[in-house]
Structure 1
Amino acid sequence: MLTTLITSIAFHPNAQVMLTAGLDKTLRLFQIDGKINPKIQSVVFKDMPIYHAEFHPSGDQIVVSGRRQFFYIYDIQSGVIDRCPGIWGKEEKSLEKFSMSPCGRYIAFLGTSGTIIIVSYLTKKWYCDLKLNKTVESVDWSSDGNFIFGFGSEGEVYQFDIEKKECVKRWVDDGCIGATVFKASPNEKYYATG
């Protein structure tokens, strides 16, 4: 039996569907029924081992990325795969880490040198760069998509206003040593690092 390393798992925002993706370059969709969970379909991306995949909040499309300068958008209904040739004007060698905004308007790619690269989902073009002092390890969004939180390698959390394209708050997570992930609660009153 052939096994593959799964690098991404996500649930559909409004249907009983789950995706898995991995280094075997395959995106798989499953119908979740709690018993058999049958596979609906598999999609192979021949030129990219998949490091991250995420449903668009509408549930109609899936963004797929890897250690490449480009990314893909897969339309679930039509089966069309759109290759987005990267971010014009940016020289990122890898777009493997990203996060979709809950409003569906933006994709945040984790760039080099502490840069969060915001791309318009509609146009697939660069919107702005948001900068941390050190490397960016993780990002998370406010529930309305108006703010993004960037988490740095030294335990610093930055809150950026997307519309103003600026940092509005910054603090250190005391006691944080070598953390790599950040998550804000839906009401933004709490956050967790790990």
Structure 2
Amino acid sequence: LRLFAVDGEENPKVASYYFKNYPILDAKFTPAGDQVLMTSSSSQIWGLDVSSGEPFEMRSPHRSAPRCLAMGPASTTEKSSQMYGFLGDAGAISLCDSKTKHTIRTFRMSSSGIALVFAPHQACLYSADEECNIYEWDLTSGRCRQKVKEQWTVRIQQLAVSAADKPKLAVGSATGNIDFFELGASLSRVPDHSIGNLTTRIDALRFNTDGQILAAASRLKPGALKLVHTGTMTVFQNWPTQRTPLHRVSALDFSSDGGMLAVGNEAGRVLLFRLRSYMQPK
């Protein structure tokens, strides 16, 4: 695990840590940014205290390896900002406290889970299972608010929720299609918009801070990354270009102020791109 200080210029490496016999498949900062949680092919979850550099170990309540590690939104008053969750056995979702690491609730879907994402605008969680069902979970009551079948996709791969005034749910599919749903009192069974510029499985899906941009990528084809302007539901045509050295994209995310896009690829490199027009004032 390597940590870098992103200043937009030198971006120096701050520290490097090695976890023996633990290939890291996913790593995320907790909502407060003071810890990093990691998952692997085992049922163990390792964490790192960023300030002290001390690692700590947790064990998943499930027999299988935890999947789709999701963090609550940062810089918000919502209760979910103190939570994280992951997928477990037989459609289970474990919801945990980011401070104590104790399991708060366990939700259960109809079949094995595929994707998981916290909503930044309210205390709820969205998940999807292998039968293309989308669930909305109330984090306060622990009840399932609604369950809708996504009839327009063969298999759901990724979910993302925007923090805009009119929040959207983006659903990435195994065929590369991205469906958009307006989040209101109830989820529509028909997408409000669809984007089909990618033609292979969606492996990464993220909204920027204010929800104006959605980044989507597939690792099955070199350079398979697209940016969608959500206001007009159009794909940016001027970037990336054929000369952009993306290679096969394995992960991506926006900085908290929206001014940076980090793109990781299978060559082991992380590329940083400035988005000056979308940087939020501090």
The answer to whether TM tops 0.5 is: yes
- 1:145–1:29: structure 2 CA closer, same or farther, 3 Å change rule? farther
Quote the residue 2:48 is aligned against. Answer: 74
Quote the residue 2:232 is aligned against. Answer: none
User: What is the aligned counterpart of 2:112 among 135, 145, 150?
Assistant: 135
Q: Is the contact made by 1:183 and 1:193 (CA closer than 8 Å) also made in structure 2?
A: yes
- 1:31–1:80: structure 2 CA closer, same or farther, 3 Å change rule? same
Q: Is the contact made by 2:121 and 2:163 (CA closer than 8 Å) also made in structure 1?
A: no
CA RMSD of aligned residues (A): 1.8
Alpha-carbon distance between aligned partners in 1 of 2:50 and 2:149, rounded to the nearest angstrom? 41
1:40 aligns with 2:14: yes
Q: Is the contact made by 1:101 and 1:145 (CA closer than 8 Å) also made in structure 2?
A: no
Alpha-carbon distance between aligned partners in 2 of 1:121 and 1:77, rounded to the nearest angstrom? 16
Q: Specify the code of the residue in structure 2 equivalent to 1:192.
A: A
Alpha-carbon distance between aligned partners in 2 of 1:60 and 1:127, rounded to the nearest angstrom? 20
Quote the residue 1:97 is aligned against. Answer: 68
Q: Which structure 2 residues correspond to residues 15-164 of structure 1 after superposition, within 5 A?
A: 27-84=1-58, 86-87=59-60, 90-102=61-73, 103-143=80-120, 146-164=123-141
1:193 aligns with 2:171: yes
- The CA deviation at 1:134 is 1.6
- 1:32–1:121: structure 2 CA closer, same or farther, 3 Å change rule? closer
> More relative contact order in 1 or in 2 (CA 8 Å, sep 6+)?
1
Alpha-carbon distance between aligned partners in 1 of 2:98 and 2:31, rounded to the nearest angstrom? 11
Alpha-carbon distance between aligned partners in 1 of 2:108 and 2:22, rounded to the nearest angstrom? 28
Question: Normalization by structure 1: what TM-score?
Answer: 0.77
Q: Specify the code of the residue in structure 2 equivalent to 1:189.
A: P
- The CA deviation at 1:145 is 6.0
User: What is the aligned counterpart of 2:158 among 166, 181, 188?
Assistant: 181
Q: Specify the code of the residue in structure 1 equivalent to 2:149.
A: V
Alpha-carbon distance between aligned partners in 1 of 2:12 and 2:46, rounded to the nearest angstrom? 25
- 1:91–1:173: structure 2 CA closer, same or farther, 3 Å change rule? closer
Unaligned stretches of 5+ residues in structure 1: 1-26
Give a deviation string over 1:21-46, Cα, whole Å, max 9, x none: xxxxxx11122233443222111111
- The CA deviation at 1:75 is 0.9
Give a deviation string over 1:105-162, Cα, whole Å, max 9, x none: 2221111211111122222222221111122111111115611001122221100011
- The CA deviation at 1:179 is 2.0
Alpha-carbon distance between aligned partners in 1 of 2:122 and 2:55, rounded to the nearest angstrom? 26
163-172 vs 92-101, which moves further: 92-101
- The CA deviation at 1:96 is 4.1
Q: Is the contact made by 1:154 and 1:176 (CA closer than 8 Å) also made in structure 2?
A: no
- 1:175–1:96: structure 2 CA closer, same or farther, 3 Å change rule? closer
30-39 vs 142-151, which moves further: 30-39
- The CA deviation at 1:189 is 2.9
Alpha-carbon distance between aligned partners in 1 of 2:62 and 2:152, rounded to the nearest angstrom? 34
Unaligned stretches of 5+ residues in structure 2: 74-79, 173-282
Percent identical pairs in the alignment equals: 24
- The CA deviation at 1:60 is 1.1
- 1:151–1:91: structure 2 CA closer, same or farther, 3 Å change rule? closer
